[in-house]
């Protein structure tokens, strides 16, 4: 067996396990928290008082205008100067959540704004309160619009978690860096790492397509006579 192939076989499980133990949980946790934050920010932007709207717009501008890596460094390396010390995984969760929250808030805001005002009026005309109209009428329609862009954000987040290696989170990319420093075979190991990221992204892309098809079929059944 060629030495490079033996290296690929020997390193596959250490790399994959780092992805399953750290990369995947980090992605799932930060995406869920980021979507929740984005939803609250979108509501504040659309329906909040003027001072809150200005504050949210400033937050989104600040996060979108600065590199994610810089944000992670500020949280992990900068906050200890202010007496706030976080472990690497917690710092990564906070950093990615704040970042995803800002980006997803714009997607959610646009999808909520895309729902015709007549839907609100129809819900109110049958006695629904604002929370009932939002939960039963507006959100189901907005979700169908938001799924494709939010799914793309999720897939991008899988790859962006590689930046967590810079703040010592032992995820997939850092595992590859450690192995490369020992074996002196960076090309083989980084190609293998890229393939594993591609595997994760391909699975998520397939799930995204399946979810979109289910939503389309559901919408078709609802509008069919």
CB 97 within 8 A of CB 66: no
In the 8-state DSSP scheme, what is residue 127?
Answer: T
pLDDT of residue 119: 85
- Residue in the block written with tokens 């032992």: 170
d(CA 67, CA 77): 15
Helices 50-64 & 88-114, crossing angle to 10 degrees? Answer: 120
Rg (CA), the chain: 21
Cβ neighbors of 14 (< 8 A, separation 6 or more) are 175, 179
Residues of the chain with pLDDT under 50: 223-225
Tell me how far apart the alpha carbons of residues 124 and 128 are, in angstroms, rounded to a whole number. Answer: 5
pLDDT tens profile 10-27: 999 999 999 999 999 999
Rounded to whole angstroms, the Cα distance separating 135 from 200 reads 32
Tokens of 102: 């800002």
- Which class does domain 3-223 fall in? mainly alpha
The predicted-structure confidence for 135-161, as pLDDT tens digits, reads as follows 888 888 888 888 888 888 999 999 999
Evaluate whether 45 touches 104 at the Cβ level (below 8 Å): no
Domain residue spans of the chain? 3-223
pTM of the entire predicted model: 0.89
């Amino acid at each position: 067996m060629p030495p490079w192939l033996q290296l690929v076989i020997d390193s596959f499980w250490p790399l994959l396990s780092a992805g399953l133990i750290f990369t995947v949980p980090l992605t799932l946790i930060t995406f869920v928290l980021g979507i929740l934050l984005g939803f609250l920010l979108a509501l504040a932007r659309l329906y909040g008082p003027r001072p809150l709207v200005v504050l949210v717009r400033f937050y989104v501008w600040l996060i979108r205008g600065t590199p994610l890596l810089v944000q992670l460094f500020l949280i992990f390396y900068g906050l200890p100067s202010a007496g706030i010390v976080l472990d690497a995984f917690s710092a990564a969760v906070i950093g990615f959540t704040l970042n995803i929250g800002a980006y997803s808030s714009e997607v959610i805001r646009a999808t909520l704004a895309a729902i015709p005002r007549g839907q609100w009026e129809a819900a109110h005309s049958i006695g629904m309160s604002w929370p009932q109209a939002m939960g039963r009428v507006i959100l189901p329609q907005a979700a169908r619009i938001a799924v494709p862009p939010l799914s793309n954000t999720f897939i991008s987040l899988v790859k962006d978690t590689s930046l967590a290696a810079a703040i010592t989170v032992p995820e997939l990319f850092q595992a590859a860096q450690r192995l490369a420093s020992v074996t002196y075979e960076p090309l083989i190991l980084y190609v293998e790492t890229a393939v594993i990221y591609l595997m994760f992204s391909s699975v998520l892309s397939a799930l995204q397509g399946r979810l979109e098809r289910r939503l389309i079929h559901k919408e078709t059944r609802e509008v069919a006579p």
